[in-house]
Structure 1
Amino acid sequence: MIQDPAQAPPVVAPPARSLEAVRPAVRAGLAALQAVVVGKDAQVRRAFAALLAGGHVLLEDLPGVGKTTLAKGLSRILGGSFQRVQGTNDLLPSDLLGVHLWDAKDQAFRFQPGPIFCQVLLLDELNRIGPKTQSAMLEAMVEGQVTLDRSTHRLPDPFFVIATQNPMDHAGTFPLPESQLDRFSCSLHLGYPNREAERRILKGEAGSDRLDALRPALDLDGWRQARAAVRTVRVSDAVMDYAERMVDRIRTGGGFCSTRAVKHWLGLAQAEAWLEGRDFITPDDLQATLADTMAHRGSLDDRRLNRAERREQLARLLKDLPVGWTG
């Protein structure tokens, strides 16, 4: 039986006393997680940025390279509840969202929440889930709520989804529609660890064996405060002009780039700037986050493009489009 998050024991963590204390605590949590998911500092930082920006992460990778370790580590640093759902083609929407059960004692239907009611949700092998159940995630990932049998239930705040996707040539997979992919603020590829990192994992000095050493960096109120601070990072008109010119170039080139995608891009750039200690974003922040934000959204002209080729296209766009404030 899924435990009601409202009945879960409170997480003990130091309260955030001031905004000045929040950022060092978040940085310390990031460093602690990077010491567990070794050799993948850039990917861990980007997942952290997505968490701070209020987005969700899609991991496209082979089994056994640390995806679950990253998800569990984030939940421990966050200090919230964690649920893992294994994707299968017979998974039903109620298996994710929950159901209304008849309570004979009260003579009324009672809502039994599903695993989606948690702070960090790992959807393993998302593209093995059928389209009907995939669509059950759309409202939750954007609006932070679940509507079931004409009743609306709020999800915990913060709510963070990490999903994994198998290569599309694997048997038993369903393609993710653009509406689903567009809910993810970024896609990440962990890949195999380097030799030094893999040796540390094999010796038990890093990886899943070290998850128990992680502690919450902040209480949940502190994380909400950090998210609010990220949203205050300034985006100047000049930087916004550069972002809009890049978006125009992507769209005229046949790429899919929704307004939601642009908001995700700016949010990740704001989170990266905030982690650096700045209250404004620069073109460098936008350039650093472009590929991770746009690669999984693909091209409307050629659906056969894989993610690596898409990233190469985006890298060429960055080189071709000047940062200059006019043009």
Structure 2
Amino acid sequence: MPSAPTPTPTPSWTVGSSVVCRVDETPLPPETGPWLLPAATADVVLRQDWLRPHFADGSGTLLLDSHSFAFEAGGLRVLVDTGIGNGKTRANPAWHDLRTGYLDHLTAAGFPPDAVDLVILTHLHTDHVGWNTREVDGAWVPTFPNARYVTSRTERAFWAGRAMDEARRQMFDDSVVPVEAAGLLDLVDVAPGGTELTPGVRLLPTPGHTPGHIAVELTGGDGGRALITGDCIHHPVQFAHPGIGSCVDIDPEQSERSRRTLLGALAGTDTLVLGTHFPPPTAGHVVADGGSYRLRM
């Protein structure tokens, strides 16, 4: 009788007295990079040797990923962003009607859905809110029924006042509105210097990609510190070229300012940077590199 396959260990990092787990959803297809970061041409990418082989291939194609991060802090089980989700109608073919093992990975990491206390949404884009809900008997219901879902008040107000195309309205209807209807979505005013959400967890304003975008800082005790980027930084090529922005940045100039400010504050520190779309090995430290930066793993 064949032996059962050995479970794949959950990727994780120790941050002081805390452990941060990467909850994998899916790699993103090769065409994602040229669409998302059009200024990151093959020539630009190939000039940064340190990006290969983990963050770019030999042809200069960017490698990107979709995942969440989970950890315990302040006595709470915390999940940061919820990926694309399964079985959802999406305009992007790479996100449409997925069937991934995300919830199995989350449970294997020690965070079964019913045990999650806090879901932090860095912003309200399709690939960051998808597992907010799952389909039960033909209806979209909150995946984490015992959790407080949190995002920036500025973020929700922006989308509430913006005309949406059909694809974005569909996303809100299946992944945001059901959470609001259940009374689980909390809106937080994020101060310019950051706002403590719970002991050890701070929300940092990093606007530009969206007006209310936030990064998440974890202080794990014993001097440990980590920073989860959200989409303030999509890919490590932006360490070397902070001026490279995303095609979906709402305010490209503000996005660049937020990125430069964040990288400058992190450079040369012991803060572990965890990229929400960085493929494995996903994490490292920001170091100065000439007039710019790179990620040291």
Higher relative contact order (CA 8 A, sep 6+): 1
More strand by share: 2
Give TM-score, length-normalised by structure 2.
Answer: 0.30
Larger radius of gyration: 1
Give TM-score, length-normalised by structure 1.
Answer: 0.28
